[in-house]
Each structure stands twice: as C-alpha cells, then as structure tokens.
Chain A
Amino acid sequence: MLHIRSGLSIPQRRVWGLVILVAASYAIAAVSAHSSPPKAAQPPQITFNHDIAPIIFHSCSSCHRPGEAAPFSLLTYSDVKKHARQIAEVTRSRSMPPWLPAPQELKFSDELRLTDDEIKLIENWVAQGSIEGDPRDLPPQPKFVEGWSLGKPDLILTASKPFTLPPQGTDSYWNFIFPVPIQETKWVKAVEIRPGDKRYVHHANILVDRSGDSRRREAEPGAGFGGMEIRIESQVFDPDSHLLFWKPGTVPSEEPDGMPLRLDKSTDLILNTHLQPSGKPELIQPSIGLYFTSHAATKFPMLLQLENDLKLDIPAGDKNFLVTDDFTLPLDVDLMAIYPHAHYVGKDLQAFATLPDEKKETLIHIPLWNLNWQAVYRYAKPVRLPKGTTVSLRYVYDNSSENPLNPNRPPARVVGGNRSNDEMCHLWLQVLPVNFDDAQGDPRMVLQEALARHNVAKNPADFEAHYNLAAMLQAKDKLQEAVSEYHLAVKIRPDDAVGNNALGAALVAQGHPAEAADYLQKAIRARPDYFDAHYNLGFALAGQEDFAAAADQFRLASKLQPNDAGVEANLGVALAQMGRYDEAKGHLQRALEIDPEQPIAKENLQVLKEMTSH
C-alpha cells in the first residue's frame, strides 16, 4: 500500500525569524605598541621625533598609509608637517581619530581615543612651529602587513560586478551578494573584508543568508541591490552569532576560541556597504577572504537585539525625543560586543545594565552620534551580566533644524523604517550564555523566547514580535501556542505572505489542512512565486486527499525550484495516490537523482516496485 509519510518527516517549510541587519565581526585591533605617554613635565621644545611620532604611529598611521581608508599618509615628518594645523584642529575637536564613545569604566579592546595630554601636546607642537627634532629620538615606524593581513585566505570571494559610485549626491548604500562555493559545512575562524577602495567605504557589514532570500532583490544575478538595511528570512532557529563588520582601520583577527562561524552549502554572504561620493565616479568591487578551521564550534554566542522602532514617530522640530527599551536577562551571560545603530536624527545613544544588586554599569555612551563612524565595539574583557540584570537602551533623537545632519529641511516628521531618511533604534549585544542548566535546552532558545515575549508585551501591535514568538514556540513544539501567535501576527498584517504561509504550515502540522489551505492561498495571492507556500499548500491539499490539486501545487513549486528533492518526492507520492504510477516513478527517481538519500522517495519507490512486481 502506498502512503504519504507523516507530516513530521516531510520538511515543513516555514520561515523562522525576520532578521534585520545583523552582521558582524571582529575586534579591530589597534596597531603598534604605544610608547610611554607624554609626561606632565614637557620638554621645553616639543619635537616630532620625540613627542609627536609616537602618538601618530599609534593612533593614526594604521589608516593613514597607502592603500588604506585615509586620504593621505601619516608615516613621516614631512607627511605630518603637511597637515600639522589640520591635525591639531581635528584632534582638538575629536573628529580624529574617529572614536564616538565617551570614556567609561568598561573598556573596549581597540580604543582610539587620544588623551587630553596628547591633544595638548600636538597643539603646542604646531604652535611652536612643528619642529622635527633629533633623528635619534624617532621611534621605529610601525610595521603593517601588506595584502591579506592573516595570510592567504582559504577561500577568496570577489563581487561579480563592481558598483559604480556616482561622483556626487548623498551617500550610497549598496549590497553585494557572494555565493559561497562550498559542498559541505565549513567552520570559519576568521573573515577579512576588503570593501573595495577603502577611501570611499564608510563601513561594511556581512550578513549570513542561509535562505537565498536576498537574491530575489537583484535585478539580475550578480548585480547586487541597493538599500541601507536588509531583512533576511531564515528557515530554522539559527541566531546569527557573529558581528562581521569592517570600518576604516579594521585589522581582522580570529574569532575567540571555540566560536567559529558555521557556513553551510548554498549559503550567501551579503556585504552591506555604506559609500561616500568622492567627487568622481568610483568603481567599488569588494572581496571577502575566509579562513577555515577543522574545529567545529563548541561555544555558541548569540545576538540579542534591543529595539523600539515602533516608538519612533518624531515630530518635526523635536530636539529631545527619547526612546527606551529595557530587557531583563533570564540567565547569566558574558557580554562580548555591542553595536548601537541609528540614522541621521539620532543624537545621544546610551545603553546601561542594572545588575541584580542595583549597581548600574554604562555599557556604552555616544554623546554625539555620527552614522558615518558607526562601529561594533568589543569589550577588552567579557562583561558578566548575571540573570536578572536589566539591559536598558536610551536613545535621544534631534529632529530640529539645529541638527545639521537632519535629512529634512525644514524638519519633517520622522518615523521608523529602513530607508536612510527614516530612523532606527537598534542595539545589538553579542552575548555568550554561561552557567546554564542543560536540562532547560539550548540557552539561546531560552534567551530568544524571553526576548520574543518581551517584544510582544512591549508592542502588542508588532507583527514581527508575534511572528518571531510564534516561530520560537513552534521550534519548541508548542504548536497550539504557536498557532495563536501566528493568528495575532496575521491579524496585524492580513495580507502578509510570510505570515500567512507560516500560519498555514503550523496548521498543517497541527492536522488542520482545510483551514491551512485558506491561509496558504492568501500567501500565494500576496506572492505568486512563493515556493514555500506552494509546497505547503500541496501538502495541505494532499492532507484533504485532493491529490490532483496537490500535484498541481507541487508542480508549481518545482517550476520555482527545479532541483528540490522534497518537491519531486511529494509530487511522485501525489501522482501515485492518483494511480499514475509511471509518472510517479519518474518523479521519485528524479528526487533520488537530486538527493540519493531522500527518505520519502526511497521508501515510496520501494513500495511502488513491490506493488508493480506482484
């Protein structure tokens, strides 16, 4: 007898988690050793060789050298003298070196902040006439690695088409897709991002796309696509745990022990770049170097996102618009890195932790936000945040004409959104759960569920909050609860393709194929080329024993993804149910050509053979 195998073994395609712009990285190690700081009693004559070169070599030269992001080199006396007044001015205003956070107790691993003494010293040196001094006082020039800084990568990916940056206008945001040509899962211990001509790239983020979702945005394969923020749908509970980030001066380094990044077959890396026009057209063609390790991950950090975009509705002219979010940790974590993000109206960005003993720790404070210098900040030592700690976000926005970066003139109402003229209120924390009880399951799930429940409570009208909570509950096999959360999500966005598909898939899994079919059809109306929805609808129809209609849906799915073994297998089963054994056999065999281990095809082909041999 032929049978369709139970729903559990046929992959229920649904979409887990909508991830918005995550990415990232690595410590951005500073460069050479710093010679001793200037003493309080300064020598009467300040010289480049004795006093200034150590500061420049330590804090400027890593970017100010050929091939790097800065527009001119600062490696010799004559280099520095040519910009001496300018250096005094930009260090006094602290626009250079670029370092946004205010000083705080918790140290970052790569602080680029000059001391007040150093700044004063430069100013006095220029006032005294920028003297060179005794050559014997000159410290050795810092050594830099040419080319790939960690040696030749195991795999180099280069964007298939360059992006032409226009000579003028506002900044451009461009995304390059890098398909990763690997046949099996690899562990990545380090990533080096070469963003193209570094002089015009403000920052670049890597997002891991395991769904192929981003390719839909390209006009043609390899073309890339525009946009400041990207949203990737992922099919499994798979919290991206790494911040892969490049900014000027970034020196790549290996991920901490035991925490390599997993790369599967058919994964795309998306490089999200922020580009600034230079005055002439520039071709930007980035590449990415990957360094593999044979050691699989043993520790699994995750990214926690605090946010409150729905509260962003800033009246024109409002100088101090406050947005908050407060999340209490359900278990102990080590905080490894932090990444605040807002757009042009963001002014004062702050995050702090209130520990269970009421002690307050500033995690980061950026008193004057500048999107151009956004960065991932890594802590010099992981910061232990015990269970019960509340992490708080306090972002202040200035939507008045006094904010020179305001994209609207005169100021206009600004709301949350992905475009650069919209605003954002995001804070990413890379955390490693510690001291957890294995019996509770994957601690990242515990954290994610707590966060999802927090988000639903915070903004009951937030589609994504309900959706993510539902997906979380479904992953934990709490189907009943998941279905009611999906219902709430779909109520908020009745025509959302992803929401309707997920609800349909959950209802199929729950054994309600008729009800499921309605939602799946809605998903298909919203997005006719939605592979997952056709696949799931085929399933829902088969569940109602309408095999002809089911076969039609599997055929549509197969047209959208011709090399999917699951679709071929299910199409074969549906045809067999209709008594069309020869056609069925063809599709089951085709499934095994694509995947020799496809269990449904294997089993049903066997059944077919036995049947026809009698």
Chain B
Amino acid sequence: MGAKARKSRGRASWVAVALVALYTSALGQQTGLDLDGHAKDPFRSSSGKVVVLVFLRRDCPASSRYAPAIQEISKRYADRATFWLVYPDKNDGAEAIRKSIDEYGYRLPVLRDPDRALVKLSHVQITPEVAVFDQRQRLVYNGRIDDWYIDLGRSRPAPTTHELEDAIRAAVSGMVVAHSEVRGVGCYISDLD
C-alpha cells in the first residue's frame, strides 16, 4: 500500500513518507514498562481509541517546556484519544520520572521504553516528538507537536501550526489517513545508550 503525500499547509513543510505495510507496524513488539517495572501494552488498554505516544527526556528542556501544552491537548481530546508519556532514556528511573511528572503537573499514564520498542514502532527520533495511531493501530503521524521551536536557540511567541492536533482530528474522523511526518526540534533519542 502506498500513501500519498499530504499537502503542505501553512509554512511548515510536511515531509511525507510513503510507508509500505503500515498495517504491520503495530504487530511488532509494542510494549513498554510501567513505573512498577511491568510490561505494558499501551494499545491493549486503549481499545477503540486513538493512541498518542509522547516521547520525553528529563534532561531535554525543549521537551519539558511542552508540558503544559501536552497536558492541555490531552485534556481536549480525552474522550477520543489516550495519551501516554514515554521515556526512552535507560537512565530515567521510575522514581525520577514520578517526581518529574508530579512537578510538571502531568495527569497522564507513563511508560519507560529502555529497549526502544515503542521508539521503533513510532519512528520517532527526537524528544519531544509524538506518534499518533488510529483506532486500528495504524501510525498516521509522527513528529513534532507544533512549530513553536524554530531551532534549539529560538522559539516563536506562539506556534503557528498544530500537527499533533491535526493528526488526532484526522485519526478520530475514521477516514483512512496517509501517514505523515515532520521532524521535531529537541534532543536525539539515538544519542542515548
């Protein structure tokens, strides 16, 4: 199955990637660890809803500064989408993560992803990036939340594009959506051990 490039909108260029056999992506390993160390499949407990994985690093200020926005967007779509915070850094331990989500006021379930299974599944490279899966567990979008950051030294007064919300709305519409991707600005996951 080939996916068609999504049309660019606003000033953000949508890097559309044609992914073959998208359906298979959700069949790979798709579990992370909850904060008690148990394997957890974010899709199993979200059946029928859109799933959003939000990838964060505690030592990445770009991902920390997004906390209020992530919390707000998750609230806005709470009845249609399930959000999970995912920490891919082996060194981000359960205790440190608990403390951090408490400080940032998150009310969202958390997964650790030390083996990067969810990273692979989601094709993300940076924190903060998100992955949006539709009700049939097809990856419809991965990449930045919006265009707030221009680069690591500069951010706009307010974002002018809203890729995450656009993707959630498209996914909940139930229509078949082509996969799309826009790289985020932040910290590389591949730099981690």
Contacts and interface: CB of A to CB of B under 8 A. Distances in A.
Interface residues of A, number: 32
B109 interface: no
Contacts of B192: 82
A404 interface: yes
A344 B61 contact: no
A90 B62 CA distance: 13
Contacts of B59: 71-72, 82
B68 interface: yes
Interface in B93-144: 103-105
Interface stretch (B16-24, B39-47, B150-158): B150-158
Interface in A118-176: 167-168, 170
Range of interface residues on chain B? 20 to 34
Contact of B65 (A83, A85, A279, A407): A279
A231 interface: no
Interface string A48-84: 0000000000000000000000011000001001111
B157 A407 contact: yes
Contact of B61 (A90, A278, A407): A278
B157 to A, nearest CB: 5
B64 A279 contact: yes
B153 A98 contact: yes
A93 B151 contact: yes
Interface stretch (B30-38, B167-175, B183-191): B183-191
Contact of A83 (B66, B105, B150, B187): B187
B156 A168 contact: no
A280 to B, nearest CB: 5
Given A168-B69, A279-B67, A407-B157, A85 B191 contact: yes
B29 interface: no
Interface string B63-89: 011111100000000000000000000
Given A405-B156, A405-B157, A168 B190 contact: no
A185 to B, nearest CB: 43
Nearest to B190: A85
A160 B49 CA distance: 51
A407 B156 CA distance: 8
A199 interface: yes
A83 B190 CA distance: 9
B150 A168 contact: no
B153 A96 contact: yes
A372 interface: yes
Interface string A198-240: 0100000000000000000000000000000000000000000
Contacts of B154: 95, 370, 372, 404-405
A271 B114 CA distance: 44
A86 interface: yes
B65 A277 contact: yes
B175 to A, nearest CB: 30
Given A93-B151, A372-B153, A82 B64 contact: no
Contacts of B157: 170, 344, 405-407, 409
Nearest to A407: B157
Nearest to A94: B153
B13 interface: no
B152 A86 contact: yes
A199 B60 CA distance: 12
Given A84-B191, A85-B188, A279-B64, A167 B153 contact: no
Given A96-B152, A405-B154, A278 B64 contact: yes
A407 B157 CA distance: 6
A344 B156 CA distance: 10
Contacts of A277: 65
A83 B160 contact: no
Nearest to B126: A86
Nearest to B192: A82
A436 interface: no
Interface string A538-579: 000000000000000000000000000000000000000000
A141 B156 CA distance: 36
Contacts of B158: 170, 409
Contacts of A89: 152
A86 B105 CA distance: 27
A279 B104 contact: yes
B152 A167 contact: no
A170 B65 CA distance: 12
Nearest to B125: A85
Nearest to B63: A279
A90 B188 CA distance: 12
A410 to B, nearest CB: 10
Contacts of A279: 64-68, 104
Nearest to A72: B59
Contact of B151 (A81, A95, A280, A407): A95
Contacts of A404: 150, 154, 156
A76 to B, nearest CB: 13
Given A278-B61, A409-B160, A86 B153 contact: no
B61 A167 contact: no
Given A278-B64, A279-B104, A82 B152 contact: no
Contact of B152 (A90, A344, A405): A90
Interface in A272-319: 277-280
A84 B192 CA distance: 9
B65 A278 contact: yes
A279 B105 CA distance: 9
Given A96-B153, A405-B157, A167 B68 contact: yes
Given A78-B193, A96-B152, A168-B68, 6 more contacts: A71-B64, A93-B151, A199-B61, A280-B64, A405-B150, A409-B157
Interface of A: 71-72, 78, 81-86, 89-90, 93, 95-96, 98, 167-168, 170, 199, 277-280, 344, 370, 372-373, 404-407, 409
16 contacts: A71-B64, A72-B59, A78-B193, A82-B193, A85-B188, A86-B187, A86-B191, A90-B151, A95-B151, A168-B65, A168-B68, A170-B157, A278-B65, A344-B157, A372-B154, A373-B153
Interface of B: 59-61, 64-69, 103-105, 150-154, 156-158, 160, 187-188, 190-193
**Those 4 A-B pairs whose CB atoms lie nearest each other, nearest first:** A95-B153, A279-B67, A168-B68, A71-B61
